[in-house]
Amino acid sequence: MKIFDLYETKNVKVEDLGLAKYINLDEKLVLKSHGRNTGKFGKANVNIIERLVGLIGVPGHRGKKHKIQTSWSSGKYSKNMKTVLNCLKIIESKTKKNPIQILVKAIENSAPKDEVTTIEYGGARYPQAVDVSPLRRLNLALRNLVHGGYDKSFNKKTKISEGLAQEILLASENSNESLAIQKRNESEKQADAAR
């Protein structure tokens, strides 16, 4: 069985051992769990493409602000899935490789290993560098990839599927033009300064 009868995941390899447990590549004909995977670490049981589709349905959040409002991303599953499928087709036509493998490589490259948290000690607050848990690494990588795709297509002639494909390709090549790679580098730089 293939994902949407198009893409095989048997040969897809996850090289980052920390993320291997949380990148779910179960082959299903239709990726729709209807929110059944609840509980502790429930997101680890949701297919990675379904999680990407869910994030596309949340237009433009940057922190707690709605910086980008888009009319074409309404939270409809079928519309968002078409966007992701078009994105995967663009990646496949450009690279002639399995687009799922390229998506996994992009996630591995853009997942930050360190970040900064604030600790309070004696009434003063200090930045403290911490290691990022694997599930949070995956969440941050996916969110930054989607934000990068939005930024490449918002108020431009580029469609969202083309912008997302471009962002995933740049992240898989570890290019600094990718927003997700820039965010990872920024997070790790801040953590190094706070050690």
Question: Is pLDDT at 153 greater than 70 in this prediction?
Answer: yes
Question: Is pLDDT at 30 greater than 80 in this prediction?
Answer: no
Question: Is pLDDT at 71 greater than 80 in this prediction?
Answer: no
C-alpha span between 175 and 153 (Å, rounded) = 18
Q: Residue range 122-134: average pLDDT?
A: 92
CATH match for 17-193 among 3.40.640.10, 2.20.25.90, 1.10.455.10, 3.20.20.70 = 1.10.455.10
C-alpha span between 87 and 66 (Å, rounded) = 24
Q: What is the pLDDT of residues 77-96, one digit of tens each?
A: 888 889 999 999 999 999 99
C-alpha span between 8 and 5 (Å, rounded) = 8
pTM, two decimal places: 0.89
